[in-house]
Amino acid sequence: MIIGMAGRFLIAEYFRSFELHYPDMMRRSGYPVRILREWSKHEHLAKEDVLERFVDLEHRTLTTRQNAAGASRPGDLRWLGACRSYKGLINLKTPFDLVLYTSLIWELKPKTIIEFGAMQGGSALWFADQLEVLCGGGSEIHSFELLEKCVHPSARHRRLTFHHADLRDLGTLDDALLERLPHPWLVVDDAHVNLEKLAPYVATKMHLGDYYVWEDMQLDEWATHEAIGRAIKLAKICGLTVDAKYTDAFGVNVTSSPNGWFRKTV
């Protein structure tokens, strides 16, 4: 049985309090009252559990309104530091995905974030700061990287630990560590190495309700029937279901992980 997440979002409360305390304002025109009046007609849309969020990958469309990674790519490398960095470190997540991760972290309240592929450490540091602000308590992040000497010394945080691992050899992963890490988990694959073996290995250690994000699964990489079939089979083996709330928040598949925001449901 999957634990529900209804009742966490309080957006609809704003509509009701506005109508209760400022009824005269609702009769006025102009911004932002006009928008509030329109939103209040569709209050049910503010509840995250109304729409069909959890969808098997085989039933998902492979189209997208726009390519999130392409829309976020800088036109001039001189501005790379401004658009794809965090605290001076490389962080290649798109603006769309940064918002989505913030929302998911707040909703899920993960006790553990596991990242595969650290690069310079910028994304792991960003995750650690998000945990600090949104979760408090004893949440932690563990980031696994082959080229661990490239992780910058400034990517230090009390919640964050970097580990050496070669994902081509799952024996380099600390199995005992993964067994003891508290749930719920948010697992982020940004390494793109050996996913067809790594994902089932990780899935056996996940609990119902944990999340697993396959980053940079661009739709053009799924263009062949063979690739689509492998991805669908892999998701089924792992017991993963697409959460459309996160894949489609900015429009269908406007994320660098199209059809790649998964919840453990089996």
Closest to 58 measured CA to CA, from 220, 218, 207, 234? 234
Give the pLDDT band (50/70/90) at residue 6: very low
Q: Distance between CA atoms of 75 and 77, rounded to whole angstroms? A: 7
- The mean pLDDT of 156-174, rounded to a whole number, is 97
**Least confident stretch, 7-16, 109-118, 159-168, 230-239:** 7-16
Phi, psi of 195 (to 5 degrees): -60, -35
The domain 53-264 is placed in CATH, from the list 3.60.15.10, 3.40.50.9100, 3.40.50.150, 3.40.190.170, at: 3.40.50.150
Closest to 96 measured CA to CA, from 260, 243, 248? 248
Q: What is the mean pLDDT of the chain?
A: 87
Contact 54, 265 (CB under 8 A): yes
Contact 51, 243 (CB under 8 A): no
Token reading at 185: 């988990």
Given this model, what pLDDT does residue 75 score?
Answer: 63
Phi, psi of 116 (to 5 degrees): -105, 115
Q: Which residues neighbour 187 within 8 Å (Cβ) at sequence distance 6 or greater?
A: 113, 114, 115, 116, 202, 206, 210, 211, 212, 213
What 3-state DSSP class applies to 177? helix
- The mean pLDDT of 187-209, rounded to a whole number, is 96
Contact 116, 174 (CB under 8 A): no
Token reading at 154: 């400034």
Q: Can you tell me which residue has the tokens 């729409």?
A: 51
Which residues is 162 bridged to in the sheet? 143
What 3-state DSSP class applies to 233? helix
pTM of the entire predicted model: 0.87
Does 137 or 198 have the greater pLDDT score? 198
Over residues 75-128, the pLDDT tens digits come to 667 777 788 899 999 998 999 999 999 999 999 999 999 999 999 999 999 999
**E-strand stretches of 149-251:** 160-164, 185-189, 211-214, 240-243
Contact 146, 166 (CB under 8 A): yes
Spell out the domain ranges in the chain.
Answer: 1-50, 53-264
Q: Cβ–Cβ contacts within 10 Å for residue 249, how many?
A: 15
